[in-house]
Amino acid sequence: MKKAMPFLCRVIWLNGLVFLSGCGHGEEVAVVDGVADKFCIPAAYRVPDVPWVPADPPGTPRGFAFDTCWSTDPDVMYVCGFSPFIRGGVVEPRSSFRGWHWRDFAEEAHIRRLISSDGVLLESDYDGRLLVGSNLDLDRSWYVWRKAKPLLQGETPFLVDDDELQAVCRTIGVAIHRQVGKRSMISCDRLVLGKDYLLSYSFESPERIPIGLEAQDAAIFAKLDSWRCER
């Protein structure tokens, strides 16, 4: 992460994302390209500085990363405002979105090669509405898809252009949790296009196939939108 000192605030770069900090009230004021409002991020949700991350070139789209109170303690969850399963995320411009349907992945993309190679396993679940693709020869992760048209009972699982990727999950052998220390867990990544920005976030899943993702998305969007400000 690189830092510069313009006027009264400082600019912090993090993986292509820019923060304005030192602007008062313990908040960081973040700008997202294409969003009229700024975001005043409370100190509790700041992403810690990473000194070895290099500065990004001029013209890099602006956005911000956020931390959470990732915790199993209900009292902490109440104070935090995020579900205790949410591990953190990134807000980017809508223009950064390239799609998460099967048709959106190029032939040379890792996920295409994974599904098309020997050793692939395609499994259906939840009345054929979800499909899980994995290939342990190439990747320890599994990919959860929502079928555009549910599979019929007994039908061989397959992917078509309109099927949409819901999450990419993996088992982390040793995760350091703030409340319970080291443990094994399932961690998933999800990408969601909001009304004026793109949200990507990581979360802990209690199940191999996460469900209730739309409600989880809505809660995160509500929390992020509560940070909008006019500074």
Average pLDDT of adjacent 10-residue blocks, the chain of 231 residues: 28 35 63 95 83 75 90 55 89 95 94 92 90 93 96 92 97 69 85 96 93 95 94 63
Instruction: Please check whether residue 20 is in contact with residue 9, taking contact to mean a CB–CB distance below 8 angstroms.
Output: yes
Give the pLDDT score at 71: 60
Give the pLDDT score at 208: 93
Give the pLDDT score at 9: 31
CA 202, 178, 227, 230 dihedral sign is negative
Give the pLDDT score at 21: 35
**Which structural domain range is residue 60 located in?**
3-97+189-229
In a domain, 144, yes or no: yes
In a domain, 120, yes or no: yes
In a domain, 168, yes or no: no
Give the pLDDT score at 59: 82
Do 137 and 64 reside in the same domain of the chain? Answer: no
Say how far apart CA 165 and CA 71 lie, in whole Å. 27
Look at residues 144, 146, 205, 124 and name the one whose alpha carbon lies nearest to residue 171. Answer: 205
The answer for residues whose C-beta is within 8 angstroms of residue 28's C-beta and 6 or more apart is: 12, 19, 20, 21, 40, 41, 43, 46, 64
Provide the 3-class DSSP secondary structure of residue 186. strand
pTM to 2 decimals? 0.81
In a domain, 157, yes or no: yes
As given in the structure block, the two tokens for residue 194 are 């909001």
Give the pLDDT score at 223: 95
In a domain, 175, yes or no: no
Do 27 and 141 reside in the same domain of the chain? Answer: no
What are the CB-based long-range contacts (under 8 Å, 24+) for 25-30?
Answer: 28/64, 29/229, 29/231, 30/62, 30/63, 30/64, 30/91
Count of domains forming the chain: 2
Give the pLDDT score at 177: 62
In a domain, 138, yes or no: yes
Do 92 and 116 reside in the same domain of the chain? Answer: no
Give the pLDDT score at 15: 35
Say how far apart CA 205 and CA 126 lie, in whole Å. 17
